[in-house]
Amino acid sequence: MRVVDVAIVGAGFAGLAMAGALRRAGRDDIVVLERADDVGGTWRDNTYPGVACDVPAHLYSLAAHPNPHWTRTFAAGGEIQRYLRDVAVRENLGERLRLRTPLLGARWDADRAVWHLDTGAEPVTARSLVLACGRLTEPHVPAIEGLESFDGALFHSARWDHDVDLAGKRVAVVGTGASAVQLVPELAGRAAHVTLFQRTPAWIVPRGGGDIPVDERERLADHPGDLARLRAELYAEGEQRFASRSGEPAASAAAREIALDHLHAQVADPALRDALTPDYAFGCKRVLLSDAFYPAVASDAVTLEPTALVSVEGSTLVAASGARHDADVLVLATGFASAQQPYADLVHGEEGTLAAHWSDGMTSFGSTVVVGFPNLFVLNGPNASLGHNSAVLMAEEQAAYVVRALCERDRRPDLVLRVRPDAETAYTDEIAAAAASTPWLTGGCRNWYVDHRSGRLTLLWPGTVQAFHERLAGADGSEFEPARTPVTGSIPTHPHG
């Protein structure tokens, strides 16, 4: 039985960051398992009209692979996908990258101290397992009475059906989150009419940016130091946004005023402005960036239905207000199963599944390692999301922590890392204390950062990226239980011996 040192599940930003960090540390005995036929994660899957990142492209890049060639301040999804393909090539993963290889199950073998992975084809055995599966992978489809009766084209924004011709069609969009804010202006220019179902309005601030001139791209390519300084400036700007997102009074009030001024400048109708004004604290939900959404909604091309879609009767959509709207195409821009990770049912540790361990909401130490799951690392999992800066930075910090933890594993006679239960409890309590007074918990909204089974903040890191870096850098291995005597039947070969 061949045993690979590290198996990585997922070839999006986090998985590629992890593979690169391992290889730069001299750890080439890895495999990257990707269920799809290409790398890219969410940027492979989301191809809806207008899809783009809301983090400046020069920061939404891996530190080891800065890209001077971005064509727009906020890169379109297709350009990000091409960037990730290029990263995979530059990392020279070769046969280490296995496309069309889904994780169907993972089980910890305590006798041999390895993970057995079921892929539906050749099984994989690994000393350590990294889940880099992402949190925006499985579309959330709300329970709407009669949804299956809709007699037109029906799809989620993350599974866009490009075979549907929208010209001359009445299109309904459910949701006003990040995807819808990008999507609706595009649809307004293509469809005969758009009806937008809004359960809750979003705080929206100006986007700015635009095309990056060719001479600017050439300058950044010729002067890597300038690109590094630009990344540092964008990072610092992002860190400054934490104050307004986390509820610091002066910063939140200033940001709220910017959002309201933006709304008033772009929407003249007082009644429509009122319907688009959130009644919850700034930062409670994800703050969105757009210069095109409000003008689209204010135009004759879009009708705002300021209540949720509650039932479907053939081609007629019934809102909570009682209003009825006819549509030929129905797009669900309703987000993802983010608080309850879809892979959790597949992973069996020492006493049960990740789903069972997380039945009251995700928990971990360092947002990365979990009690009862030896030699397992989770990227983009518990409390590893951000509302103010680039999530790529968080994945890179976690990847660096994994590399250090593997060095700790290699020093142990049993080659096993088991998280101490009290270390996970203390970290969970630390998160709860930091989040207690923030808008994410007290702001009067329902958001995807909080697991509503427990009311805990389980997705968002309640601090700056720098604080996360310091927290993980300060972990010294004491979060793990003392090594045990190797059991009979374990695989003695040292991963680097």
Residue 186, class by beta-carbon neighbours within 10 Å (0-12 exposed, 13-18 middle, 19+ buried)? Answer: middle
> Is 480 within 8 Å of 418 (Cβ atoms)?
yes
Q: Which of 295, 300, 287 is nearest to 264 (CA)?
A: 295
Q: Cα–Cα distance between 418 and 441 in angstroms, integer?
A: 31
211 class by beta-carbon count within 10 Å (0-12 exposed, 13-18 middle, 19+ buried): exposed
* Three-state secondary structure call for residue 471: helix
- pTM of structure: 0.95
Q: For 481, which DSSP code?
A: P
CB-based burial, 370-379: b 16+ in 10 Å, e otherwise: bbbbbbbbbb
Would 4-138+337-473 and 147-203+248-332 be classified into the same CATH topology?
A: yes
Strands 324-326 and 316-319 turn out to be: antiparallel
Helices (H) and strands (E) in the chain, counts: 14, 20
Regions of the chain with pLDDT less than 50: 492, 497
pLDDT digits (tens, 9 = 90+) for 266-291: 999 999 999 999 999 999 999 999 99
For residue 485, the model assigns a pLDDT of 77
Amino acid identity, residue 180?
Answer: A
Q: What is the pLDDT of residues 437-446, one digit of tens each?
A: 999 999 999 9
d(CA 91, CA 72): 25
CA pair distance 485, 462, nearest whole angstrom: 38
Domain 4-138+337-473 class?
A: alpha beta
Report pLDDT for 48.
97
pLDDT of residue 493: 52
Question: What CA–CA distance (Å, rounded) separates 327 from 172?
Answer: 6
Question: Which fold is adopted by the domain 147-203+248-332?
Answer: FAD/NAD(P)-binding domain (3.50.50)
**3-state secondary structure string, 117-161?**
EECCCCCEEEEEEEECCCCCCCECCCCCECHHHCCCEEEEHHHCC
Cβ neighbours around 400 below 10 Å, total: 17
Cα-based torsion angle of the residue sequence 262, 265, 268, 271 in order, rounded to the nearest 10 degrees: 30
Query: 3-state class of 197 per DSSP?
Result: strand
Instruction: Tell me which DSSP letter residue 226 carries.
Output: H
Closest among 197, 194, 150 to 169, alpha carbons compared: 194
Q: Measured between alpha carbons, how far is residue 399 from residues 215, 319, 431 in Å?
A: 34, 45, 20
Domain boundaries, the chain: 4-138+337-473, 147-203+248-332
Indicate the DSSP class of residue 94: G
Q: For residues 57 and 74, give the distance between their C-alpha atoms in angstroms, rounded to a whole number.
A: 5
Phi then psi dihedrals of residue 226, to 5 deg: -65, -40
Structure tokens at 460: 């968002």
Query: With the C-alpha atoms ordered 334, 340, 341, 345, is the resulting torsion angle positive or negative?
Result: negative
Mean pLDDT, the chain, rounded, equals 95
pLDDT value at residue 492: 45
Residues whose CB is less than 8 angstroms from the CB of residue 224 and which lie 6 or more positions away in sequence, other chains included: 66, 68
CA distance readout (Å), 421 to 356, 367, 374, 479:
15, 14, 12, 9
The three-state secondary structure class of 432 is helix
For the chain, give the number of residues.
497
User: Which pLDDT value is given to residue 65?
Assistant: 98
DSSP 8-state assignment for residue 484: P
Residue recorded with tokens 């805990």: 456
Q: What is the DSSP letter of 382?
A: T
Whole-number CA gyration radius for the chain: 23
